[in-house]
Structure 1
Amino acid sequence: MKKFFYILVALVVFSSCSEYQKVLKASGEGATAEKFKMGEALYNEGKYAKANRLFAQIVPEYRGKPQAEKLMYLYAMTFYKMKDYYISSYRFEQFATAYPKSEKREEASFLSAQSYYMLSPVYTKDQTETTEAIEKIQEFINRFPESEYLPEANKLVKELEFKLEQKAFAIAKQYSLIAPGFTHDFNAAIKSFDNFLYDFPGSSLREDANFYRLDAIYQQAVNSVEYNRSIEGEVVHIRKQRLENAKEASESFVKSFANSKYVEQVKEMAKVVDQELKKYSTKS
């Protein structure tokens, strides 16, 4: 009985595949309508790749006809369902432009923007596509400020913006990690964290960025060699100046982040800086 059941299933599948191949290869009168009908049925069954192949054949045939709107929407959706987001972003955008009065226009515009979101890579990679996705979603928000998709659109923008924060933070942190043993140039790390804090003032990584910025200032100060520089005719003790900068940065950090997980480390840094600065008071 079980063997008979499997044979029956195989025959049904084979028959279905044969019918699909027959319609796919069909031409002449009635073939276009038959492909649309089967394509829609396959789409509703979740067989998006097969539906896509049929739709691709008949898109030119329906151009300018009343059924074109429905066809173009389903065609775009097949790419989206197949996770071909490069093409779905374009197809939905094309649909929204071609059918400005369509009841599907708002949805298509959102799905186009969401397709760009899906193309955004992990933060460790180049973020060009993330920036583009933010722009596309913001365009949607501006065009449909009362949209039912607005909460989701805002959520996507926040996620994408956080990726940019993570990327900028990772770059700055990398500078701070390689400086001690490789370049001995802490200025790049300090500058990178300055830029991060300027570009993302409300970032959830602000506390960490301030700590690593302070750490770079501290390491630059305590590891500096003793030398003087003439600035506008005045002799400046560079190491002393850097220690004073470190002291100021540590005090500012404790004031801004009194309950920080880094407070004890910062206080230890401050002690070392104070001890080093005392050496200059005994010299004078």
Structure 2
Amino acid sequence: MKKLIYSLLACAVLVSCSDFQKALKSEDTAMKFKLGTEYYDAGKWNKAHRLFAQIVPNYAGKPQAEKLMYMYAMTSYNMEDYFTSGYRLERFVSSYPSSEKREEALFLSAKSYYELSPIFSKEQKETIEAQEKLQLFINAYPTSQYLPEANKMIKELDFKLEKKAFEIAKQYNTIRDYKASVKSFNNFLLDFPGATLREDALFYRLKAETNLATASIEALKEDRKEIGISYYNALVKSFPNTKYLDEANEMKAQLENLQIKEDSKK
């Protein structure tokens, strides 16, 4: 009995493969459309995609074109070819602005760009582009069912940009370019006013300014000492129970005890 079942399954697979190969070689576009749709409905994205790719030009301007273009774009999305799906779903939206699939297509197009966003340490061109696409979707469909997911993705992308900017500023501290570190943290705090890493940025800015004041020439120590203390005050005002309180207090004491020659104050 088991042998019979295995034989029937093997035959079914062979027939399916045979049908697919015949369709690929056929000139019958209607057959490709029908079989491609069957593969699409069965979740066989690669086979559906290959058949649709052969017939897309033949259906331009025809009633079936909208359905075909949607399925064609979705096969790319479901195969995780996000570069292609982002483009094709966008093209679908522009070609069929009245389609009932427009909202979904616009969202998945934006999500495709989100999927292309790299880790924070790499160039963030795709991240910025994904943010823009998601914002366009939110503006177009402010009450969409996809809104919570879209907002979540934007938040993740925001943090990725925030993390990159923070790590760049912190790296200047590591290589002892304290002036560049202070400048970078000041820019960070302006660019990301509600930053998740705000507490960390305020602390590392204080650390950089303390090191800068300590290493400064006499003529600059007084001003940098005052700036450092103002950075301490900004940290403890924003985060009275900061996790960096002990270290911050030590830096404040270091700044207050900074020895400045009298001649340099004139």
TM-score, length-normalised on structure 1?
A: 0.88
Unaligned 5+ segments in structure 2 are: none
Find out whether 1:239 has 2:221 as its counterpart: yes
Which residue pairs with 1:173 in the alignment? Answer: 170
Secondary structure class of the residue paired with 1:122: coil
Q: Which residue of 2 aligns with 1:39?
A: 36
Verify the 8 A CA contact 2:202 2:234 in the aligned structure 1: no
Aligned 1:257-268 pairs, distance under 5 A: 257-268=239-250
Larger Rg: 1
Deviation at 1:4, TM superposition (A): 4.5
Give how far 1:280 is off.
4.9
Look up the match of 1:233: none
2:93 pairs with 1:96 = yes
1:6 CA drift (Å): 3.2
What is the aligned counterpart of 2:191 among 196, 199, 202? Answer: 199
**Residue of structure 1 equivalent to 2:49:** 52
Deviations 1:119-176 (A, max 9, x none): 1111111000110111111111112223222222222111111111111111111111
- Specify the alignment match of 2:253 in structure 1: 271
Q: What secondary structure does 2:118 align onto?
A: coil
TM-score by length of 2: 0.94
Tell me the C-alpha RMSD between the 2 structures: 1.9
Measured after TM superposition, the shift of residue 249 of structure 1 is 1.9
Count of residues paired in the alignment: 265
Residue in 2 that maps onto 1:221: 213
Q: Which amino acid aligns with 1:19?
A: D
Partner Cα distance (1:280, 1:243) in 2: 13
The unaligned stretches of length 5 or more in structure 1 are: 180-184, 228-236
Match of 1:182 in 2: none
Q: Give the Cα–Cα distance (whole angstroms) in 2 for the partners of residues 115 and 242 of structure 1.
A: 48
In 1: Cα distance, 2:16 partner to 2:63 partner: 29
Are residue 25 (structure 1) and residue 17 (structure 2) matched?
no
SS across alignment from 1:238? helix
Q: Partners in 1 of 2:51 and 2:84 — Cα distance?
A: 17
Query: Could you tell me which residue of structure 1 aligns to residue 201 of structure 2?
Result: 209
Q: 2:230 aligned with 1:248, yes or no? A: yes
**d(CA) in 2 for partners of 1:73, 1:130:** 25
Aligned-residue offset at 1:22 = 0.7
Distance 1:264 1:212 in 2: 14
Amino acid at match of 2:190: Y
**2:106 is matched with which residue?**
109
